[in-house]
Amino acid sequence: MTEVYLDNSATTRCLPSVATLMTKIMCEDYGNPSSMHRKGMEAEKYIKWSKEIIARNLKVQEKEILFTSGGTESDNIALIGGAMANARAGRHIITTRIEHPAVLQTCAYLEEQGFEVTYLPVDKNGVIRLADLEKAITRNTIIVSIMHVNNEIGSIQPIAEAGKLIKHINPNTLFHVDAVQGFGKFKIYPKRMNIDMLSVSAHKIHGPKGVGFLYINEKAKVRPIIFGGGQQKGMRSGTENVPAIAGMAQAVDEIYTDMEQKVAHLYEIKERFINGVRKIDGTKINGLTGLESAPHVVSVSIQGIRSEVMLHALEDRGIYVSAGSACASNKPQVSATLKAIGVEKQYLDSTLRFSFSSFTTVEEIDYTISQMYDIIPMLRRYTRH
């Protein structure tokens, strides 16, 4: 049976070069980077090499890269660590209604700790209005957290414009960007874009799961939230996951090589997919399309068919997709993003996310469209009205 993986926003296939490098480190260069002997120094070299690659591509300093277990931990450190370090300056935080749960639930926790959180609305395409951001910033605002690319509908936020606005109104406000879905698809330069903290996860860019990094501007005040042996200058204690960190750096190096061609391919297959889906009766694309949206994410609502039913029908044909965000797809809850952009009630439980990678082929897109043409009318015949 043909197998088509279109759930790349949930996770990506690991690059062979990443797996090879990680195996070598686990089996040969397996020392603890904190150890003072040769084995330890060999491991430490991988840490330094990884920082060099990431810092070079972001055009930041190596000392500004903090290795974490992934996007969720990076978001938590940025928000909790940033809030606790700057609580004397103010207790106001701004974010949006369509953030990843790693941000929304962390903000909810901070509200319990006495911080005030403003949740910015978005328009029908899932984009914030800079005027709303401008009105929300006060002298007590210590953090603004805005995701770069939405993980469900692929909307792109005006990060550079937001950063400029934030620093103009309150230069002391920290600007955090969750770039888990945007990194590797767009060139991101924190210094130029006034970003103080940037969260990234390796497994979204063909690296290993369980590792990521947080860029922290050297001038930003952030407290550690994990304590222990004092690794990474005390900012994140715990023995570094050397194989995963090096695997992530290898993935970063490869994703940035010929990035323009890879992104162009993604936009090409995305357009082909959307054009095919739009010919199917009772389907609706959520959010913007084309260059105004992320190249790898498409949200499709299918009238009259529950997302879970459609997901498994596609799975039976060897096609793998998500019912919204994979981080919450196993929970019976309505997508906050779809509600925020005003998706009609009839579509809230009838939406799938298709997401692509540079490995996705035109043939896979055509196969998926052909199977949807076959499946959707069949499922509608068995749907109760």
The domain segmentation of the chain, as residue ranges, is: 4-12+258-381, 16-256
Residue-by-residue pLDDT tens, the chain, 385 positions: 789 999 999 999 999 999 999 999 999 999 999 999 999 999 999 999 999 999 999 999 999 999 999 999 999 999 999 999 999 999 999 999 999 999 999 999 999 999 999 999 999 999 999 999 999 999 999 999 999 999 999 999 999 999 999 999 999 999 999 999 999 999 999 999 999 999 999 999 999 999 999 999 999 999 999 999 999 999 999 999 999 999 999 999 999 999 999 999 999 999 999 999 999 999 999 999 999 999 999 999 999 999 999 999 999 999 999 996 555 545 557 789 999 999 998 899 999 999 999 999 999 999 999 999 999 999 988 765 4
Reported pTM: 0.95
Q: Which residue has the tokens 């070299």?
A: 45
Assigned CATH topology for domain 16-256: Aspartate Aminotransferase; domain 2 (3.40.640)
Tell me which residues are annotated as active site.
327
CATH H-level, domain 4-12+258-381: superfamily: Aspartate Aminotransferase, domain 1 (3.90.1150.10)
- Two domains, one topology: 4-12+258-381 and 16-256: no
